[in-house]
Each structure stands twice: as structure tokens, then as C-alpha cells.
Amino acid sequence: MTDQTTDLSAAALPAAETDTMPILLGPWALMWRKFRRHRVAYLSLWVVGLIYAMALFGEFLASTDIQETNRRAPFAPPMSVHFFTEAEDGSRQFLLHAKGLKLTLDPVERRRTFVDDPEKVIPLGFFVKGFDYHLLGLIPTNRHFFGPVNPKDRVYFWGADRLGRDIFSRIVMGTRISMSIGLVGVALSLVIGVSLGGLSGYYGGWVDNAIQRLIEFLRSIPTIPLWMGLAAAIPLDWPPLRTYFVVTMIVSMIGWTSLAREVRGKFLSLRGEDFITAARLDGLSDWQVIRLHMVPSFASHIIASLTLAVPLMILAETSLSFLGIGLQPPIVSWGTLLKEAQNIRTIIQAPWLLIAPGSVIVVAVLALNFLGDGLRDAADPHAH
């Protein structure tokens, strides 16, 4: 009995020790755990995800073709959605619908205005038929998430512009251009910033001096005149895709300088560390030391910096398009939509041309900024 008890106790000891051993988490798991505690940043992650999902499934979410005009609905106001309608016997019945619009003459202001037409009821539904498109560019279909049941009816949830085009559908489709410019611009800034900043901090000497003088020269040039000069060189007969790429390059020409300086500072502090010296003594080349040891050591900081750079890229594209030196119609972006509200008369007559795209830009920029702040705090090893 004594031997059996001794054997059982010895067998149970490793299990007890296993239960009390601490759980070791990697740096990415620790970063994710700290990020989830940042509730505003975590909520912003979902908002940013929904915005990019809207960009990806734009045609599915748009209820109207963005180039379709309506001469009978210039500056049509936003149409509200109703849930109940009155039957002939006076009872209330559930019916998801919108009221039609009719033109009237305002006797005070002496101009045409739109009012609800109670006699025209436009039933609404989910997964309704509409214009033809290719889902994700591959699957041909004509189904849309929400809109009028009758494909011939037109509902302007966020109003219409001067040509009677649906603002909601144009904002949804413009998300694809504006948000992708942020990603493409940040990707270019990442390559240029990490490459030049890494060379500057790793080698020092004349390489460091040359790259830093280049950065100081670019940062000393006024941004708007530089953009105007570069955008003026874009031929007007270029196709929209080429113009989009060039505008992205213009936006990225300034964005990489801040990242390059941050990378240079990190490299200056890391190149004297023991693990870098050990890597050199093991026979690794400079490129392998930078790629395998130095860049991964602060990759989380780079991700946080890039997240904060995305809203700056979006605002830069919006500013360029609003000033008329960026993307031009027929390309639809948030900047080109804001250009429709450049004069005070249009804003007074149709304020939704400014409020609708402006609100979407504010939400997207704030969500990206909160997300970047949360990632930066989570990536900081000294933050609690």
C-alpha cells in the first residue's frame, strides 16, 4: 500500500505542476489581448471592417446604377422609409415602403420643391431585382440587398444630385475608390519608408545624411502647390484607371517621410543590440539582418503607424478631388461627390450633397484614427 501511495503521489505531481504553470503568450497574442480591452478601438475595428465590406460589395448594396440620371428628380430630397400603411377600411397594415415625390411651386420662394405624394406608395424589400452587375467581378446577377420591389421605381434614400442620380448608391460605390487609395498609398509608403529609413538607420554616415536631406527637402515643399503641380501634369485624355494610379502615387510621395524617420530611429537604437551583433557574427548578410531580425522586432509599431496614415491618405485624395486636381468624373469617389457642393446656392438648395458624403468621411476617418490609437497602445510594451 505504501509503494502504491508513493507511486500515485509521484504520478500526480506533474499534473499539479502543469495546472499551476503560467500560460505563455506570444507578442501578437499579448497585443491582441490588450487591443480588445480598448473598447473604442475594438468597435472601430468593426466599423472599418463594415466600410471595407461596403466597398467590396458595392453593387450589391447600391439600389440604383450610379450613372443613371432622372430629369424629373434633380435635387430630389432624401426619402424616408415607412413601416405601416392605411388600408381602405382605415386599418393599419405593415408594409415597408417609401412615399413617392411630386413637384410643387413654392409661392414664397418662387421655386420648385418636392413634397411627398401620399397616393404613390413604393414597396421596399430585401434581395430585390435591379440593374445587372457582376458580384465580386465574377458572378453575374441582378439582386440587390435593399431597394424598391419594382425595378422601375426610384427611391432616393439620401437624396439626388443635380442630374437626378442617387447619392446613396454613389457614396457606396465611391467607398471603393476612396478607401482603396488609402490602402494602396499606405502600401507604397510602407515600401519606400521602410526601405529608405532602414538604410539610413542601419548604415549611417553619408547614406544617412543623403536620405535625411531628401526627407527634409520634401517636407519643406508646401503640400498643396506640390500636388497641384504634379496633378497638372496628368493628361486629360488618360483613362480613369491610369489617373487613379497616378493620384495614388502623388498622395504617397509625401506620406513615406514620417514613416522613414520612425524606422531610422528604431534602427539606430537596434543596430547596437546584442542579438544584432550575434546575427552578424553568425554570417548573416546585412539584408538578412534587416529582414529577419530588425524589422520584425518592431513590426507591431509599423502596423499601428500605417493604420494612422490611412485616414491621412483618404483626406488627401478627398482634398485633391474637391479642389479639382485629383480624380475627375466619371470616376466616383468621396472627393468628387463633395465637389458637387462647392457653391453656396447648391448647399442651400440641396444640403444633403454636403452632409451625406461629409458624414461618411468623418465616420471613416474617426474610426481609422481610433483603430490606429488602439493598435499603438497595444503595441507599446510599456503600456498597461
- What pTM value is reported for the model? 0.79
Identify which has the larger pLDDT, 243 or 97. 97
Q: Which of 129, 100, 105, 104 is nearest to 117 (CA)?
A: 100
Secondary structure (DSSP) of 249-297: HHHHHHHHHHHHHHHHHHHHHHTTSHHHHHHHHTT--HHHHIIIIIHHH
Q: Measured between alpha carbons, how far is 242 from 5 in angstroms, rounded to an integer?
A: 80
| 139-148 sheet: strands from edge to edge | 81-86, 92-106, 111-135, 139-148
Higher-scoring residue by pLDDT: 105, 70: 70
Q: Give the Cα separation of 222 and 94 in Å (integer).
A: 59
Confidence at 261, pLDDT banded by 50, 70, 90: confident
pLDDT greater at residue 28 or residue 369: 369
Q: How far is CA 25 from the centre of its chain?
A: 31
CB within 8 A of 367, min separation 6: which ones?
Answer: 44, 47, 48, 51
Total residues belonging to the chain: 384
Alpha carbon distance 79, 168 (integer Å): 11
Rg, the chain, Cα only: 29
Integer Cα distance of 12 and 26 in angstroms = 29
State residue 170's pLDDT score.
92
- pLDDT at 15 (0 to 100): 47
Identify the weakest region by mean pLDDT among 108-112, 232-236, 241-245, 267-271: 108-112
Cell of 351: 444640403
Spatial separation of the C-alpha atoms in residues 319 and 342, rounded to whole Å: 12
Confidence of residue 226 (pLDDT cuts 50, 70, 90): confident
Q: At what angle do helices 167-203 and 205-220 cross, to 10 degrees?
A: 150
Average pLDDT value over all residues in the chain: 80
Q: Residue 13: what pLDDT?
A: 45
Q: What is the mean pLDDT of residues 2-8?
A: 46
Dihedral angle at the C-alpha atoms of 47, 48, 49, 52, nearest 10 degrees? 130
Q: Averaged over 344-364, what is the pLDDT? A: 85
| pLDDT at residue number 270 | 81
Does 10 have pLDDT greater than 50? no
Query: Rounded to 10 degrees, what is the CA torsion of 221, 224, 229, 231?
Result: 130
Helix extents (H) in the chain: 2-20, 27-37, 39-56, 58-61, 167-203, 205-220, 223-232, 240-270, 274-281, 286-289, 295-297, 299-323, 334-338, 344-349, 352-379
For the range 18-21, what are the long-range contacts, defined as Cβ-Cβ under 8 Å and sequence gap of 24 or more?
A: none
* Residue range 151-201, pLDDT digits in tens: 888 889 998 888 889 999 999 998 988 888 878 888 888 888 888 888 888
Q: How far apart are CA 360 and CA 355, in angstroms?
A: 9
Whose CA is closest to 240, among 336, 352, 304? 336
Type of residue numbered 201? G
Whether 366 has a pLDDT exceeding 60, the answer reads yes
Higher-pLDDT residue of 70 and 251 is 70
What cell does 236 get? 486629360
Mean local confidence (pLDDT), 253-261:
80
**What gap in Å lies between CA 41 and CA 377, rounded to an integer?**
10
Percent of the chain clearing pLDDT 70 (strictly above): 89
Are the C-beta atoms of residues 74 and 163 closer than 8 Å to each other?
yes
pLDDT of residue 23: 61
The mean-pLDDT minimum among 5-9, 73-77, 201-205 falls in: 5-9
Query: Tens digits of per-residue pLDDT, 306-324?
Result: 777 788 777 777 777 777 6
Chain mean position to CA 297: 27
Mean pLDDT of 356-362: 89
Q: How confident is the model at residue 2 (pLDDT cuts 50, 70, 90)?
A: very low
Please give the share of the chain, as a percent, with pLDDT higher than 90: 8
